[in-house]
């Protein structure tokens, strides 16, 4: 188990684990308070030192009895740790090598800054190690047996079985010793082993009790540190680098495994399985369940019924037609912006999901596209759809455009907005994942007259509010009037309902007409609506007050990082990322087109589907290589996962292909793609991390090079050609 933790750490820093998610960058380029500097590396060094000491303690408890001579040495634990440091030192050396390689090649770091970064890492590592070993040095003195008698007496009184187990283990150890002829002493000299006097019973008991006390104190220190930081998690100063949080998690895991080995000996594996089964059973009974809520909705009132029958009643033909008539008013206002004799193009903006990468790419693409068309892009856009990070970037740009139109001194095309949106917000999320839920019942906040827990969802939204400059902390319906007047295009968010696979349509307008295709088969009783309008579903649960940041969170529910949101229905439904059903937003645009196909054909000169993608649509087809046994075993699942976007692309092309049969106007397609191959320089063959991960990672944190690459990608030949085509179509 100890080696597994080291293997994970080695794999992460070398890029063999979590490349796609950008996990290696969390270690190679740690941020603290939005800066990569001495302090960020210092904190990471402290966490690595804590993990290393936990490794030594657990190894000493579990296997120290196999090295009988250690018990006869002065300060046995310290010398055990010194001789057990090959793996930690190897890791530290390799880690420094990868930091040097990455920082020099990817971050444009100066020599002096790199020196201070490494100095921070080493200072943090060795300072924390020194503090731990000063403690061990002091507690190894002879007077320790008297300290133990006073501090640990009650523990020892209740530990007769464990003490007897330890003595039995030591007796067995006489026959199962690991042969050691020499060891390394404090002065770094090789000394010959002399195990005389090791089996003195009083010495053994003293060492045993000392191990127990040290383990308890270290456990309390590390867990206490996490708890204290958790109490102040909403303050940026206490939000550790994500890599440090991950290392602390591994440290706690190592400590727990050491405690199991200490308390249960040979029964530790069996005990762990039993405890897991008990916890699993209790979890199945909702004993540990935590409900992550959407802020603005009322969870205290009667929940909305959610069944096939109730959904059909809400979305009957009269409701669809009423919503359709309201949106027709919006379309008429949109039409009035252009001369009566001119039939304008209507643009559908579709922004793909993909975490921070997609958010920055979408914002950058919209800034450039709208700028070169002199604002005509947003003026002629009617609807924005998509998923995850793409909708965050699009929503932010729409807000900037709206404020500029209303006379505020804001430049929607300024680079500072890209800088703000690309700011790291992964640190608080990862630390919240580690410590936040421990305090989920102790801290609440008020929004729209209701009280909610400051949970991981709250942390995500607060960070989202920060990176969008505090401009979007408002209800979804706050945009209703601006959309109705066609000042800005409407946005439709469509996160996925886990319970039945439907979409939850969230918009400032009621959009039940996106299910208009159902009307085509009125006599078919088994028709299944593809989506549910949230305003209809939650009209009695405060739908008018749903926070926009909560809606964006639901649309960007990243696995393991952002929790699934539970909504006030009976039975309760949970919401996950919109990208599950359509990561590109094309299907929603086609549904809107179908609902208003006659009006659009009569009042426009055709439509433009502008797809802003964070991945190439026609990427290189990978050669099928030889498979290992594990590859063959996982292929059925991995094949589906790896082709998820391909399946959606094929389906979306089919939707638009069919649209040509029932829509009489021309349909133009523009694709702005974040495609590394089209612009990236040839990468060094020696730099496998860069070579294998030239494309920005799918994460809520980007490195300096990734940010630069995303922004510059708009200048690729393919994207420049698409922009020129768009400009010509909008003239």
Reported as a single tens digit per residue, the pLDDT across 344-362 is: 999 999 999 988 999 999 9
User: How much of the chain exceeds pLDDT 70, in percent?
Assistant: 77
Q: Does 365 share its domain with 419?
A: yes
pLDDT interval class at 685 (50, 70, 90): very low
Q: Tokens for 682, please give them.
A: 């040839």
Reported as a single tens digit per residue, the pLDDT across 399-455 is: 999 999 999 999 999 999 999 999 987 787 777 777 666 554 567 899 999 999 888
Q: What is the separation of C-alpha 334 from the centre of its chain, rounded to a whole number of angstroms? A: 38
Span 235-239, mean pLDDT? 82
Which of 249, 284, 319 marks a domain boundary?
A: 284
- Are 693 and 15 spatial neighbours (Cβ–Cβ below 8 Å)? yes
Question: What whole-number distance in Å separates Cα of residue 569 and Cα of residue 538?
Answer: 8
**For residue 298, is it within any domain?**
no
The top-scoring range by mean pLDDT among 161-165, 235-239, 380-384, 519-523 is: 380-384
Which of 250, 284, 318 marks a domain boundary?
A: 284
pLDDT higher than 70, residue 459: yes
pLDDT interval class at 198 (50, 70, 90): very low
- Are 478 and 504 spatial neighbours (Cβ–Cβ below 8 Å)? no
In the β-sheet with 381-386, what is the strand arrangement from edge to edge?
A: 490-491, 381-386, 346-351, 607-613, 667-673
Q: Does 278 share its domain with 186?
A: yes
Residue 144 has what pLDDT? 34
Span 644-657, mean pLDDT? 91
Span 718-727, mean pLDDT? 97
Q: Does 559 share its domain with 592?
A: yes
**For residue 295, is it within any domain?**
no
Q: How many residues does the chain have?
A: 731
Q: Does 325 share its domain with 253?
A: no
Q: Tokens for 62, please give them.
A: 């579990």
Residue 22 has what pLDDT? 75
- Are 260 and 271 spatial neighbours (Cβ–Cβ below 8 Å)? yes
CATH number at residue 687: 3.40.1090
Compare 475 and 12 and report the one with higher pLDDT.
475
pLDDT interval class at 561 (50, 70, 90): confident
pLDDT interval class at 689 (50, 70, 90): very low
Q: Does 463 share its domain with 569?
A: yes
Boundaries of domain holding 173: 2-284
Please return the burial class of 549, using the count of CB atoms within 10 Å of its CB with bins 0-12, 13-18 and 19+.
buried
Question: What whole-number distance in Å separates Cα of residue 279 and Cα of residue 288?
Answer: 9
Question: What whole-number distance in Å separates Cα of residue 332 and Cα of residue 324?
Answer: 12
- H-helix or E-strand containing 401? helix 388-405
**For residue 621, is it within any domain?**
no
- Are 118 and 44 spatial neighbours (Cβ–Cβ below 8 Å)? no
Reported as a single tens digit per residue, the pLDDT across 575-606 is: 999 998 999 999 999 999 999 999 999 999 99
Q: Centre a 10 Å sphere on the Cβ of residue 514 and count the other Cβ atoms it contains.
A: 27
Span 291-308, mean pLDDT? 95
Backbone angles phi, psi at 565, to 5 degrees: -95, 135
Residue 221 has what pLDDT? 74
**For residue 299, is it within any domain?**
no
**For residue 409, is it within any domain?**
yes
pLDDT higher than 80, residue 567: yes
In the β-sheet with 503-505, what is the strand arrangement from edge to edge?
A: 531-533, 503-505, 496-497, 573-576, 565-567
Residue 637 has what pLDDT? 60
The top-scoring range by mean pLDDT among 32-41, 156-165, 499-508 is: 499-508
Compare 560 and 703 and report the one with higher pLDDT.
703
Residue 279 has what pLDDT? 78
Give one DSSP letter per residue of 27-50, joined into a string. Answer: HHS--BTTB-SHHHHHHHHHHHHH
CA 364 to each of CA 67, 228, 268: distance values in angstroms, whole numbers, following the listed order: 61, 39, 54
Q: Does 192 share its domain with 320?
A: no
Q: Does 354 share its domain with 249?
A: no
Q: Does 337 share its domain with 247?
A: no
**For residue 668, is it within any domain?**
yes
CA 343 to each of CA 28, 146, 322, 336, 584: distance values in angstroms, whole numbers, following the listed order: 54, 93, 26, 11, 27
Least trusted range by pLDDT, from 84-98, 170-184, 357-371, 584-598: 170-184
Least trusted range by pLDDT, from 284-288, 334-338, 508-512: 284-288
Q: Look over the chain and give the mean of its residue pLDDT values, rounded to a whole number.
A: 83
**For residue 64, is it within any domain?**
yes
Q: Does 199 share its domain with 121?
A: yes
Reported as a single tens digit per residue, the pLDDT across 367-398 is: 999 999 999 999 999 999 999 999 999 999 99
* 3-state SS assignment for residue 411: coil
Which of 218, 249, 284 marks a domain boundary?
A: 284
Q: Does 48 share its domain with 145?
A: yes
Q: Does 108 share its domain with 140?
A: yes
Residue 405 has what pLDDT? 96
Residue 572 has what pLDDT? 92
Q: Does 205 share its domain with 77?
A: yes
Q: Tokens for 669, please give them.
A: 């397609």
Least trusted range by pLDDT, from 21-35, 428-442, 552-566: 428-442
**For residue 293, is it within any domain?**
no
Looking at the structure of the chain, the number of domains it has is 2
């Amino acid at each position: 188990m100890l080696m597994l933790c080291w293997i994970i750490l080695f794999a992460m820093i070398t890029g063999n684990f979590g490349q796609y998610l950008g996990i290696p960058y969390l270690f190679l380029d740690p941020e603290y308070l939005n800066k990569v500097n001495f302090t960020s590396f210092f904190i990471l060094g402290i966490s690595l030192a804590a993990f290393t000491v936990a490794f030594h303690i657990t190894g000493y408890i579990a296997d120290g009895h196999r090295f009988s001579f250690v018990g006869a040495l002065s300060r046995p634990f310290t010398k055990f740790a010194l001789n057990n440091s090959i793996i930690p030192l190897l890791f530290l050396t390799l880690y420094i090598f990868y930091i040097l390689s990455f920082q020099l090649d990817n971050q444009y770091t100066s020599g002096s800054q790199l020196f201070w970064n490494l100095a921070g890492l080493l200072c943090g590592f060795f300072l924390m190690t020194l503090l731990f070993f000063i403690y061990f040095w002091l507690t190894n003195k002879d007077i320790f047996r008297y300290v133990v008698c006073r501090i640990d007496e009650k523990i020892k009184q209740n530990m007769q079985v464990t003490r007897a187990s330890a003595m039995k283990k030591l007796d067995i150890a006489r026959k199962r010793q690991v042969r050691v002829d020499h060891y390394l002493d404090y002065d770094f000299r090789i000394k010959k082993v002399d195990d005389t006097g090791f089996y003195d019973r009083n010495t053994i008991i003293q060492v045993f009790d000392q191990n127990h006390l040290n383990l308890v104190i270290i456990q309390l220190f590390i867990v206490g540190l996490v708890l204290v930081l958790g109490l102040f998690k909403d303050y940026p100063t206490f939000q550790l680098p994500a890599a440090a949080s991950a290392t602390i998690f591994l440290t706690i895991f190592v400590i727990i495994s050491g405690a199991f080995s200490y308390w249960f000996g040979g029964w530790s594996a069996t005990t762990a399985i039993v405890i897991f089964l008990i916890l699993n059973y209790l979890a199945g009974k909702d004993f540990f369940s935590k409900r992550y809520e959407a802020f603005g909705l009322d969870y205290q009132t009667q929940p909305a019924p959610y069944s096939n029958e109730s959904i059909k009643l809400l979305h009957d033909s009269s409701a669809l037609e009423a919503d359709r008539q309201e949106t027709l008013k919006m379309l008429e206002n949109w039409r009035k912006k252009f001369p009566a004799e001119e039939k304008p193009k209507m643009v559908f903006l579709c922004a793909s999901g993909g975490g921070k990468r997609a958010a920055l790419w979408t914002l950058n693409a919209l800034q450039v596209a709208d700028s070169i068309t002199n604002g005509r892009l947003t003026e002629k856009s009617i609807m924005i759809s998509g998923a995850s990070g793409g909708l965050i970037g699009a929503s932010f740009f729409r807000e900037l455009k709206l404020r500029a139109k209303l006379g505020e001194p804001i430049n929607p095309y300024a680079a500072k907005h890209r800088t703000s949106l690309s700011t790291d917000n992964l640190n608080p999320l990862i630390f919240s994942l580690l410590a936040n839920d421990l305090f989920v019942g102790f801290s609440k906040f008020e929004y729209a007259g209701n009280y909610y827990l400051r949970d991981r969802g709250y942390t995500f939204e607060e960070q989202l509010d920060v990176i969008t400059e505090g401009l979007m902390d408002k209800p979804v319906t706050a945009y209703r009037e601006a959309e109705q007047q066609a000042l800005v295009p409407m946005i439709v968010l469509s996160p996925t309902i886990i319970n039945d696979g439907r979409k939850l349509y969230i918009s400032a307008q009621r959009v039940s007409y996106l299910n208009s295709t159902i009307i085509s088969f009125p006599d078919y009783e088994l028709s299944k609506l593809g989506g549910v309008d949230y305003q209809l579903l939650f009209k009695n649960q405060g739908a008018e007050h749903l926070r926009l940041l909560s809606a964006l969170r639901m649309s960007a529910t990243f696995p393991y990082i952002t929790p699934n949101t539970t909504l006030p229905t009976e039975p309760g439904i949970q919401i996950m990322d919109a990208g599950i059903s359509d990561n590109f937003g094309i299907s929603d645009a086609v549904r809107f087109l179908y609902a208003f196909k006659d009006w659009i054909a009569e009042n426009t000169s055709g439509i433009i589907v502008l797809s802003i993608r964070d991945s190439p649509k026609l990427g290189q087809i990978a050669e099928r290589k030889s498979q290992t046994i594990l590859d063959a075993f996982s292929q059925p699942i991995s094949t589906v996962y790896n082709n998820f976007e391909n399946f959606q692309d094929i389906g979306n092309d089919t939707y638009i292909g069919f649209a040509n049969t029932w829509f009489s106007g021309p349909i133009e397609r523009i694709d702005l793609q974040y495609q590394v191959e089209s612009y990236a320089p040839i990468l060094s063959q020696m730099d496998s991390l860069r070579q294998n991960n030239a494309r920005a990672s799918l994460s809520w944190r980007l490195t300096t090079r990734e940010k630069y690459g995303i922004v510059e990608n708009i200048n690729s030949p393919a994207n420049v050609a698409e922009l020129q085509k768009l400009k010509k179509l909008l003239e």
